[in-house]
Chains A and B, each alone.
Chain A
Amino acid sequence: MKITINSKEIECQSDKTILEVAKENNIEIPTLCYQEGFEARAVCRICMVEIDNKLLPSCSTKVKDGMIINTESKKVLEARKINTELLMSKHKKAYFGESKEHELFKIAKDVGIRQVRFNNNKKVYIVDKGIAIITDNNKCILCGRCVQACQMQNVSAIDFAYRSYHTKVTPAYENKLDDSVCVNCGQCLLACPVNAIYEKDDTKDVLKVLKSKKHVIVQTAPSVRASLGEEFDLPAGTLVTGKMVSSLRKLGFKKVFDTQFGADLTIMEEAAELIERLKENKNLPMITSCCPGWIKYIEHFYPELLNHVSTCKSPHDMFGAIAKSYYKDKYKINKKDLVVVSIMPCTAKKFEIQRKEMKKEVDYVLTTRELARLIKIKKIKFNNLADGDFDSALGLSSGAGTIFGASGGVMEAALRTAYETVTGKKLEMLEFNQIRGMSDFKEGSIVINGKTINFAVVNGLGNAREVLEQIKNKKCKYDFIEVMACPGGCIAGGGQPIPTNKEIVQKRMQALYLNDKNNTIRRSHENPAIINLYKEFLGRPLSKKSHKLLHTSYIKRGT
């Protein structure tokens, strides 16, 4: 059909919204409450356009043949200005974060607001300082994107409460987020256009400990190297491993290690665990355990199914355990002086390390964003850095370790090791394409010594319920399931650079898969550092020592 936007005739398909058609034709209409991939709620009223002397929201209005649309008329601009001013007056002025992330300020600037003619926000809310996530209602403009994101995750820890000007986004009965079913995945954080939700800042503490005489070591998650560059204006998907390592050295970390080493270790233990369960035909399907958002989810919503979860700790926790035993002893470091910092794409990890079961093996978690802030605070010129290398002791890793950051990566890494250790044969093709990519739910099967193993990958917490209900009703056909809370995997985690949208996530994903492909070692069980660790220290996977250091237990939290 044909429509007209700002006097320009445009061909478009029916059943599209005005906003979609405008986007396709590079016509910019500002939006605030609109989130791609979610149902348009049309509540902010910023995207209004003029049709037939009336103003209609472009995000939810479908195009009709012959429609004449004006996106910049006097009426539109007056409305846009007032509605933006009204939101600005609601939003506490000082904000935490970069202006790139702040969508409201950008709109205010584009609309030409020099002053807000309404008194600043009258209500004063107490800031909810959680272990991992902080929510500040004083900045909230009630766009509802966080509520939508949390509903998409099937968690619904937060929702709107009260009415009219007193409307507020909150957990039930004004409980703190930490006292609700919040799993700390941070999808709400990524969704918020005004930094009303942000991670707990650990940069100050880390800087303090770096200044001290302690032996501070750092490990970096796979996802960080594929995303950190975005914080320094490098295109999404640029692998910045070398620069990342160098910047960490400049910050003063005594050793720069790789969480991917921990990932390889996780695969050794988890593959062995899977093989044992398959032999005994007990506690199947087994479900991965490296995602702390997922763990808290099942502890709250399906505690009766906890026996299915692998007892393996997550890679960075395993690393921490090894650092504070094997590494500490080997290199004769005083326990009091050893500090382990993890750089993670994840906000839930900040919660994870505080769990009693983790025994403070990792001391601090910094998100990708916090690391970028540290680098900027210390005036390190990231883009000019020469590439550095990880320290070898706990820094050597395989390609299997790298792909942990993408949805399907843990599964793929585990299958590589499980298949080859049981059959003694090499896999013809190391890539499991059927479980790569952004689909909500991916599945496949593999024959190991005559037995068909069915596996599945759940991408995004909202997609976990179906398979969990199957397990509950004893109707599940899978043997091994990977669950990642964040859609796309850890590369789309709550600690990642903003924006994190589908396009950018796919680019980060590709960087990790390329990293795997280019690695000489692509299987966790072929990592010489891992082989050495077992030889010198652990013995074999699932040994008594491995169980003590590398495995954990869960809590039946209920709702």
Chain B
Amino acid sequence: MSFKDIDEIIKERKDNLLLPMLQAVQARFGYISEANAHYLSKKTGIPFSQIYGVITFYEMLYTEPKGKYIIRICNSPSCYLNGSLNLIRFLALLLKIKSGETTKDKKFSLEVVSCIGCCDKAPAMIINNKIHGNLDEKKIKKIISGLK
């Protein structure tokens, strides 16, 4: 198994800051596998257990592969007050998965998240860095089928 990509990532960071390195690994591979994390630990001297502790602390870092589109739908008060709960249920039924799961065809992952700062477009969701606000069932259906 080649770890050339990891070597490059480490080389870029002369300051050995872990969070950006992990984000770079995830950007390259979609997630941070045990093998990659272990290699990173070996080369940087950062304890393996610490690396795992950091990955699992942050909601946007993954130890397992996710779907092509990661749907982050907000359930904090502003969105909640605007009916996010029903939309979440709708979305889960539409994709046939529960929050935290990935569709069988590996296309979509569904995450219910805390406030994403789109309260003026509540209810809102982010899919791979793109914001979709003022949602309703019709809009969600359209967005998902547009991504299929």
**Which residues does A use to contact B, with CB under 8 Å?**
156-163, 170-173, 180-181, 558-559
Contact between chains at B49 and A162 (CB < 8 Å): no
Instruction: Give the contacting residue for B49; candidates A156, A163, A558; CB below 8 A.
Output: A156
Majority DSSP secondary structure for residues of B touching A: helix
Contact between chains at B49 and A180 (CB < 8 Å): yes
Among A161, A162, A171, A181, find the residue whose CB has the most chain B CB atoms closer than 10 A: A161
Chain B residues closer than 8 Å to A180, beta-carbon distance = 48-49
B91 within 8 A of A: no
B63 within 8 A of A: yes
CA distance A161 to B37 in the complex (A): 14
Contact between chains at B34 and A173 (CB < 8 Å): yes
Chain B residues closer than 8 Å to A181, beta-carbon distance = 48
**Which residues does B use to contact A, with CB under 8 Å?**
34, 37-38, 41-42, 47-53, 56-57, 63
CA distance A162 to B48 in the complex (A): 15
Contact between chains at A162 and B51 (CB < 8 Å): no
Contact between chains at B52 and A172 (CB < 8 Å): yes
CA distance A160 to B49 in the complex (A): 8
Instruction: Give the contacting residue for B56; candidates A157, A161, A558, A559; CB below 8 A.
Output: A161
Identify the 3 closest CB pairs spanning chains A and B, nearest first.
Answer: A156-B47, A172-B52, A159-B49
Contact between chains at A159 and B50 (CB < 8 Å): yes
CA distance A158 to B57 in the complex (A): 15
Given known A-B contacts A173-B34, A173-B63, A157 and B41 have beta carbons under 8 A apart:
no
CA distance A53 to B93 in the complex (A): 52
CA distance A158 to B52 in the complex (A): 10
Contact between chains at B57 and A172 (CB < 8 Å): no
Contact between chains at A158 and B49 (CB < 8 Å): yes
* Minimal beta-carbon separation of B31 from chain A (angstroms): 12
* Minimal beta-carbon separation of A402 from chain B (angstroms): 37
* Minimal beta-carbon separation of A380 from chain B (angstroms): 42
Task: Identify 7 residue pairs between A and B in the complex whose beta-carbon atoms are under 8 Å apart, listed by A's number.
Answer: A159-B53, A161-B52, A162-B56, A171-B52, A172-B48, A172-B51, A173-B37
Among A156, A163, A173, A181, find the residue whose CB has the most chain B CB atoms closer than 10 A: A173
Query: Nearest residue in A to B55 (C-beta to C-beta)?
Result: A161
Chain B residues closer than 8 Å to A159, beta-carbon distance = 47, 49-50, 52-53
Chain B residues closer than 8 Å to A172, beta-carbon distance = 34, 37-38, 41, 48-49, 51-52
Contact between chains at B48 and A559 (CB < 8 Å): yes
Chain B residues closer than 8 Å to A173, beta-carbon distance = 34, 37, 52, 63
Chain B residues closer than 8 Å to A158, beta-carbon distance = 49
* Minimal beta-carbon separation of B10 from chain A (angstroms): 16
* Minimal beta-carbon separation of B67 from chain A (angstroms): 21
Contact between chains at B57 and A156 (CB < 8 Å): no
* Minimal beta-carbon separation of A179 from chain B (angstroms): 11
* Minimal beta-carbon separation of A462 from chain B (angstroms): 13
CA distance A501 to B49 in the complex (A): 27
Chain A residues closer than 8 Å to B50, beta-carbon distance = 156, 159
Chain A residues closer than 8 Å to B34, beta-carbon distance = 172-173
Chain A residues closer than 8 Å to B42, beta-carbon distance = 558-559
Chain B residues closer than 8 Å to A157, beta-carbon distance = 49
Query: Nearest residue in A to B32 (C-beta to C-beta)?
Result: A173
CA distance A557 to B47 in the complex (A): 16
Given known A-B contacts A172-B34, A181-B48, A559-B48, A160 and B41 have beta carbons under 8 A apart:
no
Chain A residues closer than 8 Å to B47, beta-carbon distance = 156, 159
Query: Nearest residue in A to B51 (C-beta to C-beta)?
Result: A172
Query: Nearest residue in B to A558 (C-beta to C-beta)?
Result: B42
* Minimal beta-carbon separation of B143 from chain A (angstroms): 29
Contact between chains at A160 and B63 (CB < 8 Å): no
Instruction: Give the contacting residue for B38; candidates A161, A163, A559; CB below 8 A.
Output: A559
CA distance A163 to B48 in the complex (A): 18
CA distance A159 to B55 in the complex (A): 12
Chain B residues closer than 8 Å to A171, beta-carbon distance = 48-49, 52
Chain A residues closer than 8 Å to B52, beta-carbon distance = 159, 161, 170-173
Contact between chains at B57 and A162 (CB < 8 Å): yes
Query: Nearest residue in A to B34 (C-beta to C-beta)?
Result: A173
Query: Nearest residue in B to A173 (C-beta to C-beta)?
Result: B34
Given known A-B contacts A171-B49, A559-B48, A163 and B56 have beta carbons under 8 A apart:
yes
Chain B residues closer than 8 Å to A558, beta-carbon distance = 42
* Minimal beta-carbon separation of A123 from chain B (angstroms): 15
Chain A residues closer than 8 Å to B53, beta-carbon distance = 159-161
Among B34, B38, B41, B52, find the residue whose CB has the most chain A CB atoms closer than 10 A: B52
Query: Nearest residue in B to A168 (C-beta to C-beta)?
Result: B56
CA distance A559 to B47 in the complex (A): 10
CA distance A55 to B82 in the complex (A): 39
CA distance A389 to B49 in the complex (A): 48
* Minimal beta-carbon separation of B103 from chain A (angstroms): 24
CA distance A159 to B53 in the complex (A): 6
Identify 8 new A-B residue pairs, CB closer than 8 A, beyond the known A172-B37, A180-B49: A156-B47, A156-B48, A159-B47, A161-B53, A171-B48, A171-B49, A173-B37, A559-B41
CA distance A159 to B52 in the complex (A): 8
CA distance A170 to B42 in the complex (A): 19
Query: Nearest residue in A to B59 (C-beta to C-beta)?
Result: A163
Contact between chains at A163 and B41 (CB < 8 Å): no
Query: Nearest residue in B to A150 (C-beta to C-beta)?
Result: B49
Chain A residues closer than 8 Å to B51, beta-carbon distance = 172
Chain A residues closer than 8 Å to B37, beta-carbon distance = 172-173
Contact between chains at B63 and A163 (CB < 8 Å): no
* Minimal beta-carbon separation of B1 from chain A (angstroms): 15
* Minimal beta-carbon separation of A408 from chain B (angstroms): 29
* Minimal beta-carbon separation of A239 from chain B (angstroms): 40
Chain B residues closer than 8 Å to A170, beta-carbon distance = 49, 52
* Minimal beta-carbon separation of A41 from chain B (angstroms): 15
* Minimal beta-carbon separation of A137 from chain B (angstroms): 14
